[in-house]
């Protein structure tokens, strides 16, 4: 009998397992695939390795602006992808080492709930029954694969195939202009690969702040990406030398590969939820602030319990669930969750967007500090970007923030911490920031919000 059994070894599952073990519990982690889940193996980590490499290559095209002369650079596709695989394998090995170090039993196989305290695992050696006082469900998600597309075509791929391919495509059509699609578009375009992005909505990354949407659009256009918005994909037709995508607007585009990046869906089917009575609504397991389901002793975290499919959110939920499963009260209302777009420049946001804050009829005041006035951004030669603070006009309570520019996904953490600790804009402005840094732009934006802009013009 285990104290805690975790079903899923992704960034939520293995973190939850380690937290429970650190709390003194006897723990097992059940995973049918590779440790690390989507994030480590076919998501966050390989895409960031690819994006960093593409940025290195892209910088060679502008190196002369820095007084550095580079002879014509070339991309070795095989070496490019081999490095990505090496990064992933190294980190996956690290996860396995940590689980072993914490004496967590890793069970390879497909798990299924048989009772509120039992998981049946289909292993290579037959069915294994796992009993546990508490169970944490962390099955993750998979790419959406529309049924009308010809998935037997080897030139049609999801992000799973794109991140594990042996080489790079000659040209590509990306279906979906969300965060994932735009990151892949950035990477491919920087490597000189012709890219077309097709998005059914009227703008890219439409669920994020409008300033981010504009910045991503401008960045992709600068990299010669063909962007088609406001049109659905109707069909895909494989050909001998290319794949053709037919669009709702009557247009047809062709490329060597088609990457479908229209989202992910939680793995909640055929896992025994209904039999045990775990409540599911709109494809998500219902949980409270403690990550508890409606069944005592069963917790759910990550992509099966949240619409925001972020690895860092899954990890936080794993910690909360593990604490509660081991008798330590823990909760998180998940109202402060930063998100990042790893395009170039990067973009990040936390809390309400400007549009959302105004729609909620809040009396808000907005302030921006442009990176064109940042010493560090100018020194880097990357002045495109800004910090935006959205706050209550009367008391300065921070409702949201946006950062666009180098290291935006790091800088946003300061605004997230301020929101978490319920600091005001005035307190943010009074915090001494190092100089020169990108993060000092947060303090500058706060000063601008107070009506006391220093290096900006208000």
To the nearest 10 degrees (0 to 180), the angle between helices 408-420 and 440-449 is: 50
Name the helix (H) or strand (E) containing 139.
none
3-class SS string, 60-76: HHHHHHHCCCCCCCCCC
Please, what is the Cα angle at 411 between 410 and 416, to 5 degrees? 100
Look up 435 and say whether it is catalytic.
yes
- Active-site choice (290, 407, 435, 455): 435
Query: How crowded is residue 373: how many other Cβ atoms within 10 Å of its Cβ?
Result: 17
* CA separation, residue 75 to residues 51, 72, 102, 222, 447 (Å): 13, 10, 41, 20, 45
Strand partners, 108: 31
DSSP string, 73-91: P---HHHHHHHHHHHHHHH
Q: How many Å apart are CA 195 and CA 80, to the nearest integer? A: 18
Contact (CB, 8 A) for 284 and 305: yes
Name the helix (H) or strand (E) containing 147.
none
Q: How many Å apart are CA 336 and CA 303, to the nearest integer? A: 17
Query: How crowded is residue 103: how many other Cβ atoms within 10 Å of its Cβ?
Result: 9
Largest separation between any pair of C-alpha atoms in the chain: 69
Estimate to the nearest angstrom the gap between the alpha carbon of 140 and the chain centroid: 13
Q: For 374, phi and psi rounded to 5 degrees?
A: -95, 125
Q: Which sequence positions are flagged as catalytic?
A: 435
């Amino acid at each position: 009998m285990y104290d805690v059994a975790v079903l899923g070894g992704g960034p939520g599952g293995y973190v939850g397992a380690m937290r429970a073990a650190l709390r003194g519990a006897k723990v097992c982690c059940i995973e049918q695939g590779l440790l690390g889940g989507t994030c480590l193996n076919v998501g966050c980590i390989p895409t960031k390795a690819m994006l960093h490499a593409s940025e290195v290559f892209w910088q060679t095209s502008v190196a002369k602006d820095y007084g550095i002369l580079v002879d014509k650079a070339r991309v070795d596709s095989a070496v490019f992808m081999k490095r990505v695989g090496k990064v992933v394998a190294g980190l996956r090995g690290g996860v396995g080492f940590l689980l072993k170090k914490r004496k967590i039993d890793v069970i390879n196989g497909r798990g299924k709930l048989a009772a509120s305290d039992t998981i049946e695992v289909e292993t290579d050696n037959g069915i294994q029954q796992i009993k546990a006082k508490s169970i944490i469900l962390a099955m993750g998600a998979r790419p959406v694969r529309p049924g009308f597309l010809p998935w037997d075509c080897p030139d049609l791929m999801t992000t799973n195939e794109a991140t594990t391919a042996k080489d790079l495509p000659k040209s590509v059509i990306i279906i979906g202009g969300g965060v994932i699609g735009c990151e892949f578009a950035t990477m491919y375009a920087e490597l000189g690969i012709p890219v077309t992005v097709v998005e059914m909505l009227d703008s890219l990354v439409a669920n994020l702040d409008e300033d981010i949407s504009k910045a991503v659009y401008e960045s992709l256009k600068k990299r010669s990406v063909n962007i088609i918005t406001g049109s659905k994909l109707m069909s895909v037709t494989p050909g001998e030398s290319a794949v053709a995508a037919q669009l709702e607007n009557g247009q047809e585009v062709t490329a060597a590969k088609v990457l479908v990046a229209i989202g992910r869906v939680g793995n909640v089917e055929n896992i025994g939820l209904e039999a045990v009575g775990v409540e599911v609504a709109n494809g998500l397991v219902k949980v409270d602030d403690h990550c508890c389901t409606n069944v005592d002793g069963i917790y759910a975290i990550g992509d099966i319990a949240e619409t925001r499919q972020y690895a860092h959110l899954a990890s936080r939920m794993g910690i909360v669930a593990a604490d509660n499963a081991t008798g330590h009260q823990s909760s998180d209302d998940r109202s402060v969750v930063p998100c990042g777009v790893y395009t170039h420049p990067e973009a990040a946001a936390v809390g309400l967007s400007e549009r959302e804050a105004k729609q909620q009829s809040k009396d808000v005041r907005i302030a921006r500090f442009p990176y064109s006035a940042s010493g560090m951004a100018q020194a880097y030669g990357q002045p495109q970007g800004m910090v935006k603070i959205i706050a209550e006009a009367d008391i300065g309570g921070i409702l949201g923030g946006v950062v666009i520019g180098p290291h935006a996904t790091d800088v946003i953490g300061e605004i997230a911490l301020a929101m978490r600790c319920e600091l005001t804009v005035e307190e943010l402005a009074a915090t001494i920031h190092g100089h020169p840094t990108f993060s000092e732009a947060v303090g500058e934006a706060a000063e601008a919000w107070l009506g006391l802009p220093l290096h900006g013009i208000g």
